[in-house]
Structure 1
Amino acid sequence: MLDYLASLSTRYPVLTDVTWWQGIIIALIVVAIMEVVAIVSHKYVMHGFLWSLHKSHHEPRTGAFEKNDWFGVAGAIPSMILLMIGTHYGLHMITAIGAGITAYGAIYFGLHDVLVHRRVKHSWNPQWGYMKRVVQAHRLHHVVETKHGTVSFGFIWAPPIRKLKAQLEADGRGRIRASAKMKAEMGMIDNAEHWAR
């Protein structure tokens, strides 16, 4: 296996002939691809056959970790492997792909875990634009307390809020959680009504 990896640079020069700016472009493309992968896996895996793990994310957290965190571990493994192989064997394209997956994980952590769920305490509350929409969209995702009937499965891309609200009302399959319960679960701030707009 190691001999095969070592031979890749001579067998496939495209893997090594990547400039730094091409590497950045490749990494950005991978970030976009990862969002599509995340949407599909969130909707059909996390809210599908692995709901038993993801369900913990839709319930009040009692400690620092939840079963759902295993999805983050699973996402980190391929990025670490690609980064190690790419850097060790000089396969710059493989390194860029691993860097793109890692960048997506960092963006996800910042938006999802820090900004929305406040797993790292802070007092910043976005009042407008993209950041506010990301927070609102994910909070609307958590309005439904059941496996089915929720909306907004992306982590970086957030559909328009009006569209998500209309989708929730039209679907009606999911059980909408009580407002006070949701606010407590989400660690929402005092002006929680602000997020419902």
Structure 2
Amino acid sequence: MNLLIVLLVFISMEGATWLIHKYIMHGFLWVLHRDHHDHSNNGSLERNDLFFVIFATPAIAMLYAGVRQDFSSLFFIGLGISLYGMAYFFVHDIFIHQRTKIFRNTRNRYLLAIRRAHKQHHKHIQKERGECFGFLWVPVKYFKMYFNKK
């Protein structure tokens, strides 16, 4: 049952990420997310990186509360959120934005589709008219770009 909770939370985080990205990060918290699009910050960290802290806080709180309650379901909810956050970090920051120069030359069609969709998202430097707000699931047209090749 606990593994099912972790899996369902991880999957649900994709929908939550889409909603948060579109309506919060491109909404009232654009002030934190903007430098991720317009590259106005010359340092290695962006104001956008504060979202890691913002999103990690409830996950850590759930992990802690769940441990204090003999590994209640709160722990496994926090674990699902944390695993999604780790996946997000590795795919978004390391693979897509190349904060460390590894996995540059992949031929994996799924990863290429994710990268292409994210580039489409970043072609809009303002908060309006955005597209591709998801993370691990992207519109089918980007998969077709790579999966229809022989």
Q: Structure 1 length normalisation: TM-score?
A: 0.68
Deviation at 1:160, TM superposition (A): 2.4
Which consecutive unaligned segments of at least 5 residues does structure 2 have?
A: 144-150
Deviation at 1:120, TM superposition (A): 2.0
CA contact (8 A) 2:113 2:142 kept: no
Q: Structure 2 length normalisation: TM-score?
A: 0.88
Show the counterpart of 1:35.
14
Deviation at 1:46, TM superposition (A): 0.8
Show the counterpart of 2:2.
23
CA contact (8 A) 2:116 2:142 kept: no
Q: How big is each residue's C-alpha offset from its partner over 1:154-189, in whole Å with a ceiling of 9 and x where there is no partner?
A: 1111112459xxxxxxxxxxxxxxxxxxxxxxxxxx
Q: How big is each residue's C-alpha offset from its partner over 1:65-88, in whole Å with a ceiling of 9 and x where there is no partner?
A: 101111111110011111111112
Aligned counterpart in structure 1 of residue 136 of structure 2, from 156, 164, 177: 156
1:106-125 residue pairs with structure 2 within 5 A? 106-125=86-105
| C-alpha distance in 2 between matches for 1:133 and 1:141 | 12
CA contact (8 A) 1:53 1:68 kept: yes
Show the counterpart of 1:3.
none
Which consecutive unaligned segments of at least 5 residues does structure 1 have?
A: 1-21, 164-197
Deviation at 1:128, TM superposition (A): 3.4
Matched, 1:92 2:75: no
CA contact (8 A) 2:98 2:104 kept: no
Show the counterpart of 1:55.
34
CA contact (8 A) 1:23 1:92 kept: no
Deviation at 1:49, TM superposition (A): 1.3
Q: Which amino acid aligns with 2:73?
A: M
Give 4+ residue runs of structure 1 displaced > 6 Å after superposition: none
Deviation at 1:35, TM superposition (A): 1.1
Please tell me whether Structure 1 or Structure 2 has the larger radius of gyration of its CA atoms: 1
Q: How big is each residue's C-alpha offset from its partner over 1:107-162, in whole Å with a ceiling of 9 and x where there is no partner?
A: 10011111000112225332232111111110110011111112100111111245
Matched, 1:64 2:39: no
Q: Which amino acid aligns with 1:117?
A: H
Aligned counterpart in structure 2 of residue 132 of structure 1, from 112, 126, 129: 112
Percent identity between matched residues is: 37
User: How many residue pairs end up in the alignment?
Assistant: 142
SS at match of 2:44: coil
Give the root-mean-square deviation of aligned CA atoms. 1.6
Q: Which amino acid aligns with 1:58?
A: H
Q: How big is each residue's C-alpha offset from its partner over 1:41-66, in whole Å with a ceiling of 9 and x where there is no partner?
A: 10011111111111011022422210
SS at match of 1:68: helix
